[in-house]
Amino acid sequence: MALISLVDEERQGFKARIGLRVDFAARDISFCQHAMLSDEVFVVLDAVNDDRFRDDPLVAGPPDIRFYAGAPIVTPDGYRLGTLCVIDTVARKSFTGHDNKRLKTIANCVMQALILRLASRERDRIASVAAQKRTLLKLTEDMAGVGTWSWNVATDRTTWSDQTYIIHGYEPTSEPPALQGVLERYHPDDAKVLADHVGRAVSEGVDYTLEARINRPDGSERHILARGACRKDDDGAVVELVGTFQDVTEHVTAERFIRGLTNNLPGLVAYWDTHLRCRFSNAAYGEWFGKTPQDMLNITLPQLLGEALFAKNEQHVRAALDGRRQNFARTLVKPSGEVGHTLSNYVPDIDAYGRVQGFHVLVTDVTDLKKAEEKLQETNALLSAERDRAEAAGAIKAEFLANMSHEIRTPLTVILGYTSLLANRNDLTETSRMMVSRVKGASSTLLSIVNDILDFSKLEVGQMTISPQTTDVVAVAEDTLLMFNLLAQEKSICLRFEPAINIPSSVTLDTDRLRQILLNLIGNAVKFTDEGTVRLKLNYNETRQTLDIRVEDTGPGMDEEQCALLFQRFSQVDASSTRRHGGTGLGLAICKKLTEAMGGEIGVESTPGQGSVFHLYVDAPPASEAST
């Protein structure tokens, strides 16, 4: 039997065997544990007669060992791994020196074979790891869009990764060009810069980064970012350049778009990192501080603003870096000495993990707006003064009109009184009675005009007071309508009163002003209607608590142009009508202002030949609710 046995702490395993069917045995009963510790071949000629092995199970039983010779297997570093042994079931009388030498030689061969096997496995492992790395590198390049390259200084030989071929627009099966061929693919201006970088890298060992333009075979231009690093020999001489190659065309295009957009914005735009260094600014931002965008890059915010202004803004800066958006106004003095007004917004830049990377600054120059605001304030002050003067003039006018109306009303009242007394005398001739009647009519008309002018003047200057009181609106409306009963009979027209059943028994509003509005509207309807009906309708809106009024007539009606003239002071829709019926043209204007003063609105609907409808509403809460 022959075995190559490797021994550990508990057992021996058989890496190769002849004449034995088992794969391992316990170490404590093995012959090999003695052989591997010996520097020479360990020999047992007759195990039965050897006190060390006589009772060994391997001797007393299968495989019935009698003869054993084992040479240790030792690594070049002195580690004892096991043995190469020969075993027989028949005892021997001798094992010569020549036999020892042969066994040791074979044991050495076994050791060399193990070393070669390990070396082969290590090479396979290294090759497998390298293949995995190449696969991962290719996947990484494809995902990141970054290629790798190298250039041998001595041989002028270039190597490209697949992604570098793709960026250049070539098939990976073609041979990459030498240095001059590489330079020819660059834009002429950028080729010169690259050549200078390569020259410095070879002569001085300086790494470089270059953003440049290359031309593809299809004629398209791409923007690339190339990085180069030096690989040196033991003497420090540069023997190779290696680096990366990245297509940044989309990034450059987007950056140009963003810069073009921000440069044309009316405001100032910049980005500051957590170290308060400027990473981006538009042209307007630099111009405000008298700097170019290049000057702005990497300048710190304290350097830009100065110590005093930065101290004012520091609380907002710290809040932005703490993730809180800031909005504030600031007055600045530009480098030119001009005073500027700004509205600033600090917007934190927060990543997906909630970490603040910096903050965006959006500043709006509101200097012109501020000047306009100051101008507006000045104008408002002037207008306020003018308004005060106008109100004072209005008050004087109202006082004048009140005094004048009093002075005019007194003699008119006397005239009306005496004309009434004269009209009741029985000794008047027919001519005298006619004259007295005309004096009385003219006096009444003049008094009505004076009252209208006085009421309208008070409404214009806000001196007309509204005095709400508990009112039975149905009774007030009916009484007012009946006042025109005699005139209606004279003209043979019909007066109708149609109150709704849901009107409260009493509401709160100004009774006198309601009566004044009704007198004007009903009086106009009766005055301008020659035949047919004048109808007064009342309704109550319980939701908004308003009294809704409609005065309908079958008079001549009006077109849109005539309706547009209503409710304007001193306005008559028809001059001939004015001459026929008289009037100041203030009645409807007074109705409109009184209605609005009572919280309502008034309007008209009319069609020529079909009559007119005046409708309005005024606030009229139920008296019980108003009193509470």
Instruction: State the pLDDT confidence band at 479, using cuts at 50, 70 and 90.
Output: confident
Torsions phi, psi of 80, nearest 5? -95, 115
Q: Poorest-confidence range of 234-238, 570-574, 598-602?
A: 570-574
Query: Average pLDDT for residues 119-136, to the nearest whole number?
Result: 78
Best-predicted range by mean pLDDT (57-66, 245-254, 263-272, 579-588) = 57-66
Sheet holding 612-619, edge to edge: 494-499, 533-541, 546-553, 612-619, 601-606
Query: Average pLDDT for residues 3-12, to the nearest whole number?
Result: 87
Of 504, 518, 480, which is closest to residue 595 (Cα–Cα)?
518
Tokens representing residue 148 in the block: 């790798």
Q: What is the pLDDT of residues 599-612, one digit of tens each?
A: 999 989 988 988 99
Instruction: State the pLDDT confidence band at 578, using cuts at 50, 70 and 90.
Output: very low
Q: For 371-460, which CATH class?
A: mainly alpha
Fold assignment, 469-627? Heat Shock Protein 90 (3.30.565)
Residue 531 has pLDDT above 50, yes or no: yes
Torsion angle defined by CA atoms of residues 29, 32, 37 and 43, in that order, rounded to the nearest 10 degrees: 110
Q: What is the pLDDT of residues 323-372, one digit of tens each?
A: 999 998 888 776 677 787 888 899 999 988 899 999 999 888 888 888 88
The pLDDT value recorded for residue 577 is 47
Query: Average pLDDT for residues 142-157, to the nearest whole number?
Result: 84
The pLDDT value recorded for residue 21 is 83
- The end-to-end CA distance of the chain, in Å, is 124
Region 2-120: CATH code: 3.30.450.40
CB atoms within 10 A of CB 522: 22
Tokens representing residue 146 in the block: 């970054």
The pLDDT value recorded for residue 142 is 66
Residues 197, 228: contact at Cβ < 8 Å?
yes
Best-predicted range by mean pLDDT (27-31, 397-401, 415-419, 569-573) = 27-31
Sign of CA dihedral 88, 93, 94, 99: negative
Q: What is the pLDDT of residues 14-53, one digit of tens each?
A: 888 898 888 888 888 888 888 888 888 999 999 998 888 8
The pLDDT value recorded for residue 129 is 79
The pLDDT value recorded for residue 402 is 60
Mean pLDDT estimate for the chain? 83
Q: What is the pLDDT of residues 37-96, one digit of tens each?
A: 888 899 999 999 888 888 888 888 888 899 999 999 988 888 888 999 999 999 998 998
Of 73, 68, 95, which is closest to residue 84 (Cα–Cα)?
73
The pLDDT value recorded for residue 454 is 58
Q: Poorest-confidence range of 132-136, 203-207, 273-277, 616-620?
A: 132-136
| 444-453 as b/e: b if 16+ CB within 10 A | eeebeebbbb
Rounded-to-integer distance, Cα 334 and Cα 340, Å: 7
Residues 33, 52: contact at Cβ < 8 Å?
no
Question: What pTM, to 2 d.p., does this model score?
Answer: 0.39
Torsions phi, psi of 487, nearest 5? -65, -40
The pLDDT value recorded for residue 120 is 84
The pLDDT value recorded for residue 89 is 93
Residues 191, 184: contact at Cβ < 8 Å?
yes
Strand partners, 321: none
Region 280-365: CATH code: 3.30.450.20
The pLDDT value recorded for residue 343 is 87
19 φψ region: left (φ > 0), alpha (ψ -120 to 50), beta (else): left
Q: What is the pLDDT of residues 406-450, one digit of tens each?
A: 566 567 666 767 677 777 777 777 777 677 676 665 665 565 566
Rounded-to-integer distance, Cα 157 and Cα 240, Å: 10
- Only one residue has tokens 């108003």, namely 626
| 220-247 as b/e: b if 16+ CB within 10 A | eebbbbbebebeeeeeeebebbebbbbb
Extents of the domains making up the chain? 2-120, 145-247, 280-365, 371-460, 469-627
Best-predicted range by mean pLDDT (116-125, 239-248, 409-418) = 239-248
Residue 628 has pLDDT above 50, yes or no: no
The pLDDT value recorded for residue 195 is 93
The pLDDT value recorded for residue 615 is 93
Fold assignment, 145-247? Beta-Lactamase (3.30.450)
Greater model confidence, 123 or 266: 123
Q: Do domains 2-120 and 145-247 have the same CATH topology?
A: yes
Q: Poorest-confidence range of 175-184, 280-289, 304-313, 429-438?
A: 429-438
Residues 507, 547: contact at Cβ < 8 Å?
yes
- Only one residue has tokens 């990366």, namely 244
